[in-house]
Amino acid sequence: MTEISNLSLLTMIIFVMIPVSMSYYFSLGISKSAIWSSLRGVVQLFLIGYILTLLFSMEDWQGVGLWVTVMLVIAALQAAKRGKGIPFAFWLSFVSLVIIEVFVLSIWIAFDIIPFKSEQVIPMSGMIIGNSMVASGLAFERMKNEFSDSRGKILAALSLGAKPAEASKMIIRKTIKASMIPNVDSLKTIGLVQLPGMMTGLILGGASPIDAIRYQIVVSISIFSCVSICAMIISLVTYRFFFNKDMQLLTFEGGD
């Protein structure tokens, strides 16, 4: 694979200036945000590059343990922003992500899909945690919206003697479905509309397309399963916080 020089990398400013110019022309008001986001992204990626170099030089259990923990905490914090106002949103996200990471990593290693090496566990875990983080955030946000929009129906069900679980059944179903839809659509077009990131990276790194496909299948199916599990855990636990001990409906404000 041809090495990209620093000078060649600087030409990427052309692609940054296109959305910035559009912002000025259409008065979108996001030019500063676009520039800042681009600069921040570049700095973060270079920083992560040096950090990963350090992690890969450590013992595998140390590198994996340290960085996976960092990813889990950051992902839980980000997902919890969508659940603002819901009690224990961070801890619920964090525990869900830990369960998923342990589950997936155990299967990968037990069935000799990947070895316990920092170079493989960290990047693949990042994809699992990242997608599960998005599913958690969607579940929190969708559940708050559904409880707000369906407040009248829930109150009617409660007045007729329904338990919170019964009154919330349809909301739980809608929340889980909404959190899964992006990954369902992605699987439908995988390899047809775009070559997935991991597959592309392996091919650029010199791996054969068939070997790259094998790894991509592992990651894609694992992500699909984890997103489903994460959405289910978040939904089945979170709905309880919308009711008090007397089974009365509460309202949570806030969120992004």
Residue 251 lies in a domain: no
- Is there a single domain that holds both residue 136 and residue 38? no
- Is there a single domain that holds both residue 72 and residue 52? no
Domain boundary among 11, 31, 57: 57
- Is there a single domain that holds both residue 115 and residue 16? no
CB atoms within 10 A of CB 179: 27
Dihedrals phi, psi of 150, to nearest 5 degrees: -105, 20
Cα–Cα dist 219/252, whole Å:
36
CB atoms within 10 A of CB 200: 13
- Is there a single domain that holds both residue 117 and residue 231? yes
Do 244 and 234 meet the contact criterion of CB atoms below 8 Å apart? no
Predicted pLDDT at 233? 95
What pTM was computed for the model?
0.84
Q: Measured in Å, how far apart are the chain's first and last C-alpha atoms?
A: 42
- Is there a single domain that holds both residue 2 and residue 75? no
Residue partners of 102: CB distance under 8 A and separation at least 6:
none
Domain that holds residue 80: 64-242
Q: Reduced to 3 states, what is the DSSP secondary structure of residue 249?
A: strand
Do 56 and 63 meet the contact criterion of CB atoms below 8 Å apart? yes
- Is there a single domain that holds both residue 15 and residue 79? no
Residue 248 lies in a domain: no
pLDDT tens digit string along 77-136? 999 999 988 999 999 999 999 999 999 999 999 999 999 999 999 999 999 999 999 999
Do 157 and 166 meet the contact criterion of CB atoms below 8 Å apart? yes
Residue 99 lies in a domain: yes
Computed from CA positions of residues 198, 187, 195, 12, in that sequence, does the dihedral angle turn out positive or negative?
A: negative
- Is there a single domain that holds both residue 231 and residue 147? yes
- Is there a single domain that holds both residue 39 and residue 71? no
- Is there a single domain that holds both residue 52 and residue 175? no
Residue 25 lies in a domain: yes
Predicted pLDDT at 256? 43
Give CA separation, 12 vs 7, 36, 39, 224, 228, in Å. 10, 15, 11, 33, 37
- Is there a single domain that holds both residue 91 and residue 25? no
Q: Taking the C-alpha atoms of 148, 154, 155 and 160 in order, what is their torsion angle to the nearest 10 degrees? A: 180
Residue 240 has pLDDT above 70, yes or no: yes
Residue 204 lies in a domain: yes
Dihedrals phi, psi of 168, to nearest 5 degrees: -100, 0
Predicted pLDDT at 132? 95
Cα–Cα dist 132/26, whole Å:
35
- Domains identified in the chain, total number: 2
Predicted pLDDT at 125? 95
Residue 254 lies in a domain: no
- Is there a single domain that holds both residue 161 and residue 142? yes
> Confidence class of residue 254 from pLDDT cuts 50, 70 and 90?
very low
Q: Reduced to 3 states, what is the DSSP secondary structure of residue 162?
A: coil
Predicted pLDDT at 205? 81
Residue 17 lies in a domain: yes
- Is there a single domain that holds both residue 211 and residue 96? yes
Tell me the H-state helices in the chain. 6-10, 13-25, 31-56, 60-82, 89-110, 118-149, 151-159, 164-167, 169-189, 197-204, 209-238
Residue 256 lies in a domain: no
Burial of 25 (0-12, 13-18, 19+ CB in 10 A): exposed
Domain boundary among 22, 38, 57: 57
Domain boundary among 21, 42, 57: 57
